[in-house]
């Protein structure tokens, strides 16, 4: 199965977005070459006609293959790039367990943990959007509780091994404090952060930003 090994990859992204940082984390871990194209989401660069031709959903990241084929949705990109590597198990049930956490991330975690951070840090609406933020906090803590329970029983979120599910959930969890979440009551999540940060090829969000000059 090809996973884009046969030509240069282009990632269109913005490192304000943890969804984009996920792709960077995986590509570094896999030691893959790629070109990074900055799409400034706050300046509306994901809503231009040119970008919407690539992704009608108007979201980063997107992955462009050498032949011009385009893939959207951060977690679908993770699955594609990790195919054939230990970060995405081959066996059907183990793979489905990884998928379970990837869907959990996009449905229960990112819309709350990431959006709270976006409201506070990038939109500067922490004061004006108090009700909305309170809702995000309540639902976000519920998602973190589910993760904490899982991580109390295993080293990585889907089992004994590091997979793309860890990358997906790490991206916004490790900066949850920027969205007003207090993780001091989540010791298993914190130990899991340390295990991820000790992975070969790990680079911090700050390092990723510096690398791409923004």
Shortest distance in whole angstroms from residue 198 CB to a second copy = 27
φ, ψ dihedrals at 34, nearest 5° = -165, 160
Q: Which two tokens stand for residue 167?
A: 């990358």
Nearer CB in complex with a second copy: 103/202: 103
- Cis geometry, peptide bond prior to residue 61 (ω within 30 degrees of 0): yes
- State the nearest-atom distance from the C-beta of 214 to a second copy, in Å: 25
- Two tokens at 56? 């009608």
Q: How many helices (H) and strands (E) does the chain have?
A: 9, 4
Comparing CB distances to a second copy, the nearer of 42 and 149 is 149
Positions touching a second copy (CB under 8 A) are: 1-4, 56-57, 65, 69, 71-77, 79-80, 83-84, 90-93, 95-97, 99-100, 102-104, 106-108, 110-111, 145-146, 149-150
> Helices 130-151 and 164-173: crossing angle, nearest 10°?
140
Shortest Cβ 35–a second copy spacing (Å): 19
Instruction: Report in angstroms the alpha-carbon separations of 160 from 88, 97, 101, 151, 166.
Output: 13, 12, 14, 10, 11
φ, ψ dihedrals at 72, nearest 5°:
-115, 175
CB of 7 to a second copy, least distance (A): 12
- Tell the smallest beta-carbon distance from residue 206 to a second copy (Å): 26
Nearer to a second copy, 80 or 172 (CB): 80
To which residue do tokens 């589910």 refer?
A: 146
Q: Which is nearer to a second copy, 25 or 147 (CB)?
A: 147
Of 5 and 207, CB closest to a second copy: 5
Angle between helices 164-173 and 92-104 in degrees, nearest 10: 10
């Amino acid at each position: 199965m090809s996973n884009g090994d046969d030509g240069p990859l282009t990632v269109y992204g913005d490192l304000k977005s943890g969804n984009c940082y996920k792709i960077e984390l995986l590509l570094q871990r896999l030691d893959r070459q790629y070109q990074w194209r900055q799409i400034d989401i706050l300046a509306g660069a994901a809503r231009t006609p040119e970008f919407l031709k690539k992704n009608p959903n108007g979201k980063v990241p997107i992955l462009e293959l050498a032949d011009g084929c385009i893939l959207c949705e951060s977690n679908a990109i993770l699955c594609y790039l990790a195919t054939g590597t230990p970060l995405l198990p081959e066996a059907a049930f183990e793979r489905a367990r990884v998928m379970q956490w990837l869907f959990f991330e996009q449905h229960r975690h990112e819309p709350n943990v990431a959006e709270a951070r976006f409201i506070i840090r990038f939109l500067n609406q922490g004061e004006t959007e108090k009700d909305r933020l309170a809702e995000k906090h309540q639902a976000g803590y519920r998602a973190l509780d589910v993760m904490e329970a899982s991580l109390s029983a295993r080293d990585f979120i889907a089992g004994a091994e590091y997979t793309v599910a860890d990358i997906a959930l790490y991206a916004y969890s490790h900066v949850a404090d920027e969205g007003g979440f207090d993780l001091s009551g989540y010791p298993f999540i914190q130990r899991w952060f340390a295990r991820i940060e000790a992975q070969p090829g790990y680079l911090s969000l700050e390092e990723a930003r510096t690398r791409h000059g923004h």
